[in-house]
Amino acid sequence: MTPPALAQNNQYKRTLLQLRSKGERNLEKYIFLSSLKQYDEDMFYAILMANMPEICPLIYTPTVGEACLEFSHIFRKPEGLYVSIEDKGNIKNILKIWPKKAETRITVVTDGSRILGLGDLGVNGMPISIGKLSLYIAGAGFKPESTLPICLDLGTNNPKNLEDPLYLGLRQKRVGDAEMDAFMDEFMDAMAEVFPKILVQFEDFSTEHAFHYLDRYRHTAKVPVFNDDIQGTGAVVLSGFVNAAKLSSDASGRALTDHKVLFLGAGSAGVGVAKQVMSFFTLQGMSEADARNRIYFIDSQGLITADRPKLQEHKKYFARTDYSGPPLKGLSEIIDYVKPTALFGLSTMKGAFTQEVVEKMAVLNPRPIIFPLSNPVSLSECEFKEAIEWTDGKVIFASGSPFLPYTYKGKEYYPGQGNNMYVFPGIGFGGVLAKCTHVTNSMVENGSLALADSLTQEERDLGMIYPRLTRVREVSTQIAARVIHIAQEEKVDRNNVLRNMDDHALLEYVQKRSWYPSVKTT
């Protein structure tokens, strides 16, 4: 008989106590949880799932950013697969080393070149792939053995890495584009051969490569592919905007079609979000051109206009053709010109939403929508507390990284977390269960709308625009079911068993296929 002191529930409480005894030392908590995952996976997921708001920021954003910065120093044991440029010509054999080939269904692949807003971290980006896959398991119900974290080592341009004697990756500068293309083509072919049932999520590639490889593979690869920073972020922000715009319009009396969105930051995330946010307008009957017209972009040089010489390809679509005055540079003057109802930050510029900027938004709008989405929290364009105080509690807020609720003038306010973690687990799970051949735009868009619809009345009454993190499994199930439905409509599904199921039956099917840890937490 198990002695009472070793009963599973006590071991759960004991492990939590050990974790919490580390106080504010979040990186140590990350290391503790990472070791726990390696020696008692069930306990790790039980703790994560039962304490999502507390543990998620430790294994994911923002602490995962610290873990990446320190990865070559805190590394204990490999948890994923590294594929290096030196493996070129032999990638298939490297992939075959992975022990659980038959079970593998989902991978997160990064090349470490743009980790959160922290820049090129090389193979120190591996914790991003690991953290995202932990959320695929806890958030959606993938079986742990079906997940494969991958970090590609194509060199690094970060001098800190190159000088660090403990750096785990290749000590060389990044290879050029032609060499990278050839490597990626071989890698993608090998992935399809070794893991024919896999769905590939690209993560934290630098902006040009993020767009390039999504375009290159999304229609042609033999396995389904999506880019989380472009499409996942687009989906999560569209969802938050759908709910925020209604709240804002209720206060202002403005039509939903009158919203205007100003973006600070025109990288893969900003442009990905804008493309998705366009469907907010087109779903209300606006033309593509009119929807695009509701969106303005600022990059490091100011308002993006079409007459700017040498404009990067991914910025051209949203470049304004209706402004011809002297270049507008400062955020504050651009707000005066645009008069936006919503301000989104994907700029990696800490504090860019200053008091002046936020107050201006509150003068223009009875309920301004302000989303500082840059990660980790140290790069957030503004803090929740600031946004509440500077708008006298009127702001509709979502940030990329988590903030705590804040009490202002006796009322408690809840920040939204506009982080792709709310959607990628459900989109991936739906895609894999449907055995989809491709991840289509409509699957992503509907995943987003399912998230927007998932708010409970209690959450709506509190003015929330995203569901509570404690409900992420339930919400991912709804997203996954909707994604399967759309995959069927678009005929990219291959799972005949699901074809005749109605929405209720699909939801039940997804629930039944979700994995849970066996450890009891209560």
Ligand X SMILES: NC(=O)c1ccc[n+]([C@@H]2O[C@H](COP(=O)([O-])OP(=O)(O)OC[C@H]3O[C@@H](n4cnc5c(N)ncnc54)[C@H](O)[C@@H]3O)[C@@H](O)[C@H]2O)c1
Subset of residues 370 to 399 that bind ligand X, contact rule: CB under 6 A? 373-375, 379
- Nearest by Cα to 237 from 263, 203, 200, 211: 263
CA atoms of 370 and 343, how far apart (whole Å): 5
CA atoms of 418 and 399, how far apart (whole Å): 5
Whichever of 156 and 419 has its CB closer to Mg ion, that residue is 419
Q: Which of 111, 229, 386, 445 is the binder for ligand LMR (CB under 6 A)?
A: 229
**Residue 51 is assigned to a ligand binding site:** no
* Residue 105, Cβ density class (10 Å: 0-12 exposed, 13-18 middle, ≥19 buried): buried
Whichever of 67 and 362 has its CB closer to ligand LMR, that residue is 67
Give the one entry of ligand X, ligand LMR, Mg ion, none that residue 34 binds, where binding means its C-beta sits below a cut-off of 5 to 8 angstroms depending on kind: none
CA atoms of 423 and 450, how far apart (whole Å): 9
CA atoms of 414 and 395, how far apart (whole Å): 11
CA atoms of 460 and 11, how far apart (whole Å): 37
Residue nearest to ligand LMR (CB): 61
Here the tokens at position 67 are: 């873990």
Per the CB < 8 A criterion, the answer to whether 82 and 91 are in contact is no
The one segment of 68-76, 109-117, 274-282, 435-443 that binds ligand X by CB under 6 A? 109-117
Mutual angle of helices 424-433 and 472-489, in 10-degree steps: 50
Here the tokens at position 452 are: 């927007």
CB of 492 to ligand X, least distance (A): 25
CB of 356 to ligand LMR, least distance (A): 26
Q: Is 100 a catalytic residue?
A: no
Q: Does 341 bind ligand LMR (CB under 6 A)?
A: no
Whichever of 36 and 352 has its CB closer to ligand X, that residue is 352
Subset of residues 401 to 420 that bind ligand LMR, contact rule: CB under 6 A? 419-420
Q: Is 60 a catalytic residue?
A: yes
Q: Does 375 bind ligand LMR (CB under 6 A)?
A: yes
160: left (phi over 0), alpha (psi -120 to 50) or beta: alpha
Whichever of 92 and 308 has its CB closer to ligand X, that residue is 308
Binding residue count for ligand X, defined by CB under 6 A:
29
Q: Which of 15, 61, 158, 391 is the binder for ligand LMR (CB under 6 A)?
A: 61
CB of 299 to ligand LMR, least distance (A): 18
Give the one entry of ligand LMR, ligand X, Mg ion, none that residue 291 binds, where binding means its C-beta sits below a cut-off of 5 to 8 angstroms depending on kind: none
Q: Which of 144, 267, 368, 425 is the binder for ligand X (CB under 6 A)?
A: 267
CB of 60 to ligand LMR, least distance (A): 6
Q: Does 116 bind ligand LMR (CB under 6 A)?
A: yes
**Residue 375 is assigned to a ligand binding site:** yes
Q: Which of 80, 270, 340, 426 is the binder for ligand X (CB under 6 A)?
A: 270
Give the one entry of ligand LMR, Mg ion, ligand X, none that residue 418 binds, where binding means its C-beta sits below a cut-off of 5 to 8 angstroms depending on kind: ligand X
Active-site entry in 29, 37, 132, 275: 132
CA atoms of 262 and 277, how far apart (whole Å): 11
Encode 138-189 in three state secondary structure. Answer: HHHCCCHHHEEEEEEECCCCCHHHHHCCCCCCCCCCCCCHHHHHHHHHHHHH
Place of tokens 């290391």: 31
CA atoms of 26 and 158, how far apart (whole Å): 25
Binding residue count for ligand LMR, defined by CB under 6 A:
9
Q: Amino acid letter at 421?
A: M
**Residue 204 is assigned to a ligand binding site:** yes
CB of 420 to ligand LMR, least distance (A): 5
**Residue 294 is assigned to a ligand binding site:** no
Cis before 376? omega within 30: yes
**Residue 203 is assigned to a ligand binding site:** yes
CB of 62 to ligand LMR, least distance (A): 8
Active-site entry in 12, 60, 422, 509: 60
Alpha helices in 415-518 (DSSP H): 424-433, 441-453, 457-461, 472-489, 503-513
- Nearest by Cα to 108 from 219, 205, 211, 208: 205
Rg (CA), the chain: 22
Whichever of 114 and 473 has its CB closer to ligand X, that residue is 114
Burial state string for 245-255 with b = 16 or more CB within 10 A and e = fewer than 16: bebbbeebebe
Q: What angle do CA 457, 460, 464 make, to 5 degrees?
A: 140
Going by the annotation, the residues of the binding site are: 114, 203-204, 229, 375, 419
Binding site for ligand LMR (CB under 6 A): 61, 116, 204, 228-229, 375, 400, 419-420
Residues forming the active site: 60, 132
Binding site for ligand X (CB under 6 A): 114, 116-117, 207, 229, 233, 236, 264-270, 298-300, 346-349, 373-375, 379, 400, 418-420
